[in-house]
Amino acid sequence: MLVHDGRIVFDRERDAEGFRAGARQFDSDITEGRHPRAAVGVADDRIVAFACDGRSRRDAGLTLTELQEIGREVGIAPELIAQAANSIDKVGTPTARKFLGLPIGVGRTVELDRRLSDAEWEQLVVDLRETFDARGVVRQEGSFRQWTNGNLQALVEPTPTGHRIRLRTMNAGLRAFMLGGLGMIGMAGATSIAVAVGGTSSLGSIVELGVIGAGMFSYGALRLPGWARLRRQQMEQLAARLTGKPALPPAPTPDNER
């Protein structure tokens, strides 16, 4: 909460909202310095929203204190700000791995302010199997639990206040396909240089090798974005069920990544 009844109530040192404690989710501690900011709320009979850019030469962003001052001036209800922030936190923090700018891996981390019960863990395993259409393997070591199916992983870790659930996957199959294509393109290039120097290889075979390599790379590059979108949506649905938020309609499952 930033503003209440026209008064600035956020205490950076006390950090009741956990902004500083959750700094690892961001590029930096959002309670310090200037950053891009956004807020929305209700003032009397008006809906008020404002946003600012930052971290650029033209836009410096706002400090948290300046954001509080603006919220107080326009009369934004602090309950709505707190509700919005809480909603964002609960859906989890998305993560991604990229290969040549393409999403080769996706994930989501959900911080629970409570312990995951045995019944909830069993239901999570059921949800994982139904969502990804895979049986998977369940393991437990002390207070650590995991469900894995190839490159799909769901890890449950204890925290001081509850449990952290990490969902992640990587499409190793398409990455290998793309690497193979790049390798064939490289071989075609090297062979063409050898031919230019005075080799005897056929130009037709070089072109064929390059075309096959380009086709393999293009196949993987075209499929990865759709695969990543689907996996992100599936993980968002799982996170929503864990945190009690309404889930989005289920998405179809692609071929299992291996």
Domain boundaries of the chain, sorted by first residue: 3-90, 93-171
- Residue 33 has what DSSP assignment? S
Average of pLDDT values for 69-94? 59
Mean pLDDT of the chain: 77
Residue 179 has a pLDDT of 93
Q: Are 258 and 173 in contact (CB under 8 A)?
A: yes
Name the packing angle between helices 203-243 and 172-197 (round to 10°).
Answer: 160
Q: Are 171 and 105 in contact (CB under 8 A)?
A: yes
Longest dimension (CA), the chain: 84
What is the Cα 11 distance to its own chain's centre? 29
Lowest mean pLDDT among 65-69, 100-104, 139-143, 152-156: 65-69
CA distances to 1, 163, 168 from 150, in Å: 42, 24, 11
Q: Which residue has the higher pLDDT, 88 or 109?
A: 109
Lowest mean pLDDT among 2-16, 104-118, 207-221: 2-16
